[in-house]
A and B are shown apart, each in its own frame.
Chain A
């Protein structure tokens, strides 16, 4: 029963509590609901704010991320560029290293070469170039010749030593202009020396085929005056008769030349020409009047005696090609026409040849001269010629001679020459038999019909150093006239008749330098 009572009490309590609670709830509920809505609205707003904040944060973060991505891209790009540059730099470094190595090798080689060259000294070419650079383009050279003679002539019984020094000065200011001057110092009979300037020219090279020569020059008539005059070039000591004391044309002239050469065929087939105008001839003015057989002056410095000029031309022709192995043949022809007095002419012509093949050399000329004389006198006509031949004994070996003797023998050149002059007369006052360099002094040379056989023997020490020996046989023919003034103004004439033969010997040491 008690339990029933306690239970009821509990139920009552609970019920009471529940009633209280309901009543409390019933009274508190509207207010609580209102409060909850306000809280919820606040919370919602808070949430919204937070959401907005979150969205803003997100947007900012996204932008940041984008920026970061961009920066990352840039960094990656830069990194790529740097890598490429680095690679290029590495390649360049390698190339530079290679180049450096090559340069080092080359430098070492060049250094070694320079050291070797320095040790050896400069080559001639280098030295010449250096000297040439130092000396400049204007160039000067001295060449020429010198000779000493001993001469003996049987007929006049004279003998003498003689000496001549002929320096040739060449000056080239430009490669188209050359000045040339030859000065001759000769020791004539008596004391002291005589000086002459047989050649003084300016040579202007216009082109490959044409050249002008101005000044005093060797007469280009024939071949001898111009090409065979130098002491070491002439195979003999004396000149052939037509080019010696009784020259048919003046040995030198003052004027102007136009000359040149060209190849018309194969190599060696050439032709050349020389044309000139000059003061012309003049004759020995010490004679009272013009005379047949009168000697020509060496050169006519001033033409007051003629008021005219001389005109000359020479053509030469070389027919054989070099490869034909036929040797070198020269064929030439010359003319010379000059007034020696007003209205009076000296007309001359010449044909010449020269031939060289191996050890054989020959040359020869024939010429004629016609001198117009004043009224009342016959013509003064002359002819002259020479032929010479020589043979080098180079290569000759005689088995019975020693090697040394054979070597001396091979330097020898035996020679022979025949020359002659025909003229109608000679003048006694012009005969000079004093021997000198290149002149044997024989009176027989002054015969109107002089003939000479010369034998020579040249010993060649070097190409331009020679010891020459010559024996002359003078074999004049009878005939002709001898004019003699004997202090009078008019010469007396006498027939020459037979003239004795003569012999002379000359020996000469000549050096071309």
Chain B
């Protein structure tokens, strides 16, 4: 294999990696948006099952991180739903 071929392959690999990283970042952003939307739907329903749903503005994002751990235990809600509600509470402040 000549040096030129190697350089081409390397360039293609770098381009592919860059594209995949960009795609992952985009996917992550999309996932977060989806989580936020799911959280917005789940928040009034899941929380109100036991108590009035409290708005995101009542606690700081750091506090929500902790409180949602407590609430996940308390309610046994699925972890992904807890993450979605947390995303909504933190983002919707």
- Residues of chain A whose beta carbon lies under 8 Å from any beta carbon of chain B: 124-125, 128, 131-132, 135, 139-141, 143, 168, 170-172, 175, 178, 180, 203, 205, 207-209, 211, 213, 226-228, 230, 232-233, 259-263, 267-268, 270, 272-274, 316, 322, 328, 330, 354, 356, 361, 460, 463-464, 512
How many angstroms from the CA of A135 to the CA of B61 in the assembled complex? 13
5 contacts between A and B (CB under 8 A): A139-B62, A178-B73, A180-B73, A267-B42, A268-B42
Pick out which of these stretches binds chain A: B3-11, B17-25, B50-58: B50-58
- A274 near B76: Cβ-Cβ < 8 Å: yes
How many angstroms from the CA of A214 to the CA of B55 in the assembled complex? 30
How many angstroms from the CA of A140 to the CA of B70 in the assembled complex? 12
Q: Is B69 an interface residue (CB 8 A)?
A: yes
CB distance from B64 to the nearest CB of A (A): 9
- B66 near A227: Cβ-Cβ < 8 Å: no
CB distance from B44 to the nearest CB of A (A): 10
CB distance from B75 to the nearest CB of A (A): 7
- A460 near B45: Cβ-Cβ < 8 Å: no
Contacts of A131 in B (CB 8 A): 60, 62
Q: Which of A270, A322, A463 sits near B52, CB closer than 8 Å?
A: A463
Interface residues on B, range: 35 or more
- B76 near A463: Cβ-Cβ < 8 Å: no
**0/1 string, B56-93, CB within 8 A of A gives 1:** 00111111011101101111111111000000000001
- B41 near A267: Cβ-Cβ < 8 Å: yes
Contacts of A205 in B (CB 8 A): 69, 72, 79
Contacts of B49 in A (CB 8 A): 328, 330, 354, 356
- Indicate whether A356 sits within 8 Å of B62 (C-beta atoms), given known contacts A203-B73, A233-B50: no
How many angstroms from the CA of A143 to the CA of B52 in the assembled complex? 15
- A211 near B66: Cβ-Cβ < 8 Å: no
Contacts of B54 in A (CB 8 A): 463-464, 512
How many angstroms from the CA of A175 to the CA of B66 in the assembled complex? 9
Q: Which of A168, A233, A261, A274 sits near B51, CB closer than 8 Å?
A: A233
CB distance from B78 to the nearest CB of A (A): 5
Q: Which of B41, B51, B66 sits near A172, CB closer than 8 Å?
A: B66
Contacts of B52 in A (CB 8 A): 460, 463-464
* Beyond A261-B76, A512-B54, 7 additional pairs, beta carbon < 8 A: A128-B62, A205-B79, A233-B51, A263-B81, A268-B45, A354-B49, A356-B48
How many angstroms from the CA of A213 to the CA of B61 in the assembled complex? 24
- A132 near B73: Cβ-Cβ < 8 Å: no
Contacts of B46 in A (CB 8 A): 328
- B70 near A178: Cβ-Cβ < 8 Å: yes
- Indicate whether A270 sits within 8 Å of B69 (C-beta atoms), given known contacts A132-B62, A322-B45: no
CB distance from A75 to the nearest CB of B (A): 36
Q: Which of B42, B63, B73, B80 has the most chain A CB within a 10 Å cutoff?
A: B73
How many angstroms from the CA of A201 to the CA of B49 in the assembled complex? 24
- Indicate whether A213 sits within 8 Å of B73 (C-beta atoms), given known contacts A143-B67, A178-B66: yes
